[in-house]
Structure 1
């Protein structure tokens, strides 16, 4: 079964990121084409990158990295919940992504974002990072405004119409995720020959 992680993008106390992730998970439950699971980066307590070797070598020295690597490697695709801080991704998400590399290679990704401009600027930065990690990212994304979709800047209350945007994104992500499974298998064949 195709497995897709819903990856949180913030560890800040009082964040709404986990609320957005739970909303996404709730709306993916009726889908039979894939299994979805929340991966909360806050659970891994990753310090500022403290691995001595580049992530591409997978010579992880620290247990927190090994545990995080193992979890991320389980999945075929990813939905990143992207909070926009200072026109970009959060430091916590960037740090988490910097810990790994191979675990993301030849997999698919999509983005659910929020911020003053719907998180669009953060996703544009994240698309560059995703490309470097060899993640095939789909065009469709879901964007929320912190002014109209978040009550008092603390309670996530999306408009009903948001589910159609999520469905359109999933309709792209799931086939791309399956297609990238084929790409990964072909890459293994090439390496073996």
Structure 2
């Protein structure tokens, strides 16, 4: 497919001992195997973002911090996002919330999907993320991927002999496909709509 939408897989945990890299690499392979999108990882560890302290959102005032501007430029390159969510105390990570707050316009009119993990499958973090995404004018898709309960223990960091992510293939394949199908569809449609709007304003 010509001019395929670019989708970022955003890793939301920045802890040195994070487990996120294991599901990230597994999901990235799934995304890169598709023919309707281009996918790459965007890792919050690569951006030493300060706690948001700008005078206002970049929707109103240009951002002064150079690291934040680099973050905004990175986000703007993509046509959609899949967030890998670790659930911290019934919500998303502080690092992700701060990163989301450092941009507004870059997220607008683009789809977002998610893969969440935790004891309850990251469900509470996922719902919080969807609410934030709506405020940032993203389009959250209905389907999500959740790794929780006994499945999380099988592959997760608390198992002394964890299994590979492939052990959950049968359990997760359907939800991964549904989520990526929806992200890809909205990314294509919204990319065309943004181009049409930009051409009309030129």
Give the alignment of 1:1-193 within 5 angstroms. 1-57=4-60, 59-145=62-148, 146-152=152-158, 157-158=164-165, 159-161=168-170, 162-189=172-199, 192=201
Alignment partner of 1:56: what SS? coil
Runs ≥4 residues deviating over 6 A: none
Alignment partner of 2:169: what SS? coil
> Once the 2 structures are TM-superposed, how far is the Cα of residue 156 of structure 1 from its aligned partner?
7.3
Pairwise CA RMSD of aligned residues? 1.8
Segment drifting more, 56-65 vs 125-134: 56-65
Alignment partner of 1:39: what SS? strand
Unpaired segments of 5 or more residues in structure 2? none
Corresponding pairs, count = 192
Measure, in 1, the Cα distance between the counterparts of 2:126 and 2:109. 19
Is the CA contact 2:55–2:61 (under 8 Å) kept in the aligned structure 1? no
TM-score by length of 1: 0.92
Distance 1:153 1:60, change over 3 A: farther
TM-score by length of 2: 0.88
Unpaired segments of 5 or more residues in structure 1? none
